[in-house]
Structure 1
Amino acid sequence: MLTALRGRVRRIPEIIGVGPGVWLQGFIEGATLGSDAAPRAPLSALHSEQLGRLFSEMAVIETDELDVDRICLPEDRPEEGDSGGFLAGLVRFTHERVYAEHGAPYHALFERLGVDTAPLEKLALSAERLEPRPFSLLHGDLHRENFIVDPHGDLWTIDWELALFGDPLYDLATHLHLMRYQADEEVRICRIWQSAVEAARPGATEGWRQDLPVLLEYKRVQSVYTDVIRGALALEQPEDALDRRTLPEVARQVQLALAAAQEVPGMPTAPALHEVARAYRWWVTSRPSFTASAS
C-alpha cells in the first residue's frame, strides 16, 4: 500500500528496497499528535490544512486504481458508488464476524450489559437511505496516535493497514468518532473535509450532512461490540483469576462506549460505571473454569 501511494499521498512512511523482495519502512522522527495535546484538543491551523490535503489526496484515488491486492472477497464488494451497500457491508461484518463469531463466548456478558443485535438491524435499514457517492481510498483509522508530528511541525500519516475503498464520508465519520473533538471543532473539521473532498472529486460529498449522523451511529455501535470483547479479553487470565487492577479501566472504557452509543436506536440506556464493573466481575467469576479453580 505504501509503495503504491508513493507520489500520490504526501507525508507517509517511505518504503526502501534493500534487496530482492526485501523492503524496509522508513521511520518518521517525531511524536504522535496525541502525545503532547489534551485528548480533545483542536487542530492547529497548519495541521488542519494538512489534514484537508490528506482528504483531498485520498479522494482522487479511485477504486482499483492502485496496484495493490484487495483481501475482501469480490462478492463482498458493493457496487461503485453504492454508499448504502458499503455501510450495509460494514454492519454485516460487525454482526457476523465481530458479534456472532468472535463475540460468541461473550454473549452472556453482552446480555448482562443489555446489548443485543437490534442496533445493527436498525442500522442496516438506515443504510438503504444513504446518498450514492463515488468511492475512493480511505485510511480507515485516522486518530491521534496515527498522526506523527515531525520536528518541523508537519503532520505525517502512519498505519495504513486498515485502508480500503469506499464511501469517503466514512473516513470523516471515523475521524470524528476517534478524535472526540469539541462540538465547534467538529463543525470546523467537517467544513475542511467537505471543501477539500468536493474540490478534489466533485460529487463526492453529496448528501453528507444527512448521512454523516448515520455513519457516526455505526461507529458508536461498532465501538460497543469491539470494546466489550476487548475488555473481556483483557480480563482473561491464564489462572482464571479476576484481574482487579485491570477491571476499573475496562469498566471505564466500556461504560464510555455505551454512553456514547445510547442514543442510537436499539441501544440500551448506558449502565452506570459500577454496573459495568459488576457485569464483568459476574462474567469472570461465573465461568466454569473459574468456579472449578475457586473450589
Structure 2
Amino acid sequence: MSPESASPARRRAAEVSGDESTVEGPLRGYHHETYVVPLPGAPGAAGSARWKCREPRSNLLWFDRRCFVSEELLLPALRDRITHVPDVFEFEGLHLQRFIEGRTLGTLHPAGHAVPRELLRQIVRLFGQTAAVTSGTLAVERLCSPEDRPEDGDSDGFMERLVCFTEERVYAANLDEFGSLFAELGLDDDAFKRLRKHVAGLRERPFCLLHADLHRENLVVDADRRLWTIDWELAMVGDPLYELATHLHLMRYPSWQRRQVVEGWRRAVEAARPGGTHGWRHDLDLLLGYKRAQSVFTDVVREAVSLGRAGRSPGPRVALAAARLHGVLCAAALPLGLDSVPGPAEIGTALVRWSRTHTEEGPLPGTL
C-alpha cells in the first residue's frame, strides 16, 4: 500500500513503528481502526511485545455510554487489581496498549458453546476482582455528568440513567432518520414508559467497577491459557448485577453452564463486595429485559444502515436482516410491552420501504 493511499490511522502506525512492513492490520473492530506495531524500545521481553496503534473510526453510530475519560488512563489503575489486563506504554505523546497475543474466546468457543472450566474460573475471578474496585478507590478521571452518577447502591437510579441514555441518545436522536421505521415496527415513546415500569423496583446493591461489555471477543486466550480482558472502553461504576446481566446477554451460554456462571458470580461478588448480590433472584430477569430492549433500538438502526442500497429491493440480505430483527423484537416484547410483533415478511417490507426513501439509487458496490 502506497503512503498516499493509506488511511491516516495506518500512516500514524507506520510512523510509530518506523517501518511500514512491520505494521499489521487493520484488526477486526467496530469503534476503532487498529493496527499492531512492534516498538523495540518499549517494555517487554527483549522488545518483543507488540502494541496497538488506533484511531476512532469516523461517521460511526455510537450507542454506548462512556464513563471514563479514556481506556488508556483506566488500564494502569487496574494493573495491580485486575488479573491480565493490557499494559499501557506512552510513546511520543501517545498512550499505546499492549497487543495481547492469542485468540479470542469467540474464535475458540463461539457463542452458544460451553466455555472450558479453566477459562470459566478466570471469568468468575474477574467478577470478584471488579466487584472489589469502587469509585472511592479508583482515582481515574470520569467524564459522565453528575446525573449519571447516582448515589452508591441506588440501583433504580442507575437503571433510570441507562434507560434515559437509550431513549435520548439511541431512539430520540435518530427519530428524524429512522422514525418511520421505528413506527412500522411498533416502537414509539410509550415503549419507554412500559420499559421503565418493567424495570422499576430494583433492590439496592453497593456499586463497583463494571467492564460492561464482557463478551467472547473481548476475552483473549494466550498460549498459556491465561484469559486477558480487553476493550475497557465502556467501563463504568454501577450495579454489579448489571455486569452479570450484560455478560449473560452477550455470551449466550448453554443453559446448563449459564446456571454455573450465575452461581460463580454470586459467590465471587458477595465475597468481594458484601451485599453486592442482594435481590439478584428477583432483579436479574429485569436487567436482562432491559438488555433485550436496548438491543432492539440499536439493532434496528444498524441493520438498516448495514443494508444500504441492497435494502431497496427484497432479497436474501433483506430477508436475513428481517429474520434477525424479528428475533430481537420477540425477545424484547415483554419489557417493551409490545402486544404483537410484526412477522419477518412485514419487517422486510418495512426495511425496503425505509431504504427506498433514505438511500440513493445506483449500482451496488462490486456490480459495475
TM-score by structure 2 length? 0.73
Decide which of 232, 254, 269 is 2:340's aligned counterpart.
269
CA gap of 1:33–1:166, structure 2 versus 1, over 3 A, is same
Percent sequence identity over aligned pairs:
44
User: Does the Cα contact within 8 Å between 1:85 and 1:127 map onto a contact in 2?
Assistant: no
Q: Larger radius of gyration, structure 1 or 2?
A: 2
**1:152-231 equivalence runs, <5 A:** 152-231=224-303
Task: Decide whether the 8 Å contact of 1:59 with 1:136 is kept in 2.
Answer: yes
Query: How far is the alpha carbon of 1:72 from its aligned partner?
Result: 1.0
Separation in 1 of the partners of 2:311 and 2:341?
28
Note the C-alpha offset of 1:180.
Answer: 1.5
Higher mean Cα deviation, 93-102 or 37-46?
37-46
Check the 8 A contact 1:126/1:214 in 2, yes or no: yes
Partner amino acid, structure 1, of 2:222 = D
Amino acid at match of 1:282: R
8 Å Cα contact 2:311/2:352 also seen in 1: no
1: distance between equivalents of 2:311 and 2:156?
A: 43
Equivalent runs, 1:1-295 vs 2, <5 Å: 1-19=74-92, 21-237=93-309, 246-287=317-358
Secondary structure, aligned partner of 2:220: strand
Contact kept? 2:199, 2:290, Cα under 8 Å: no
Structure 2 gap ranges (5+): 1-73, 363-368
8 Å CA contact 1:30, 1:150 repeated in 2: yes
Q: CA deviation at 1:279?
A: 1.3
Q: CA deviation at 1:289?
A: 5.9
**SS at 2:213's partner residue?**
coil
Equivalent residue number for residue 366 of structure 2? none
The RMSD of aligned alpha carbons is 2.2
Indicate the SS of the match to 1:34.
Answer: helix
Paired residues of 2:182 and 2:188 also in contact (CA < 8 A): yes
Aligned partner of residue 89 in structure 2, secondary structure: strand
Higher relative contact order (CA 8 A, sep 6+): 1
- 1:82 and 1:110 map into 2 onto residues whose CA distance is 31
Q: Distance in 1 between matches of 2:151 and 2:251?
A: 30
- Partner of 1:43, secondary structure, is coil
Instruction: Please tell me the residue identity of whatever aligns with 2:109.
Output: A
Aligned-pair CA distance for 1:182 = 2.4
Runs of 4+ in 1 over 6 A off after TM superposition: none
**Number of aligned residues:** 289
Uncovered stretches (5+) of structure 1, i.e. residues with no partner: none
Letter in 2 for 1:279: A
3-state SS in 1 of match to 2:106? coil
Q: Tell me, in whole angstroms, the C-alpha distance in 2 between the residues paired with 1:142 and 1:104.
A: 32
Asked if structure 1 preserves the Cα contact closer than 8 Å seen for 2:170 and 2:297, the reply is yes
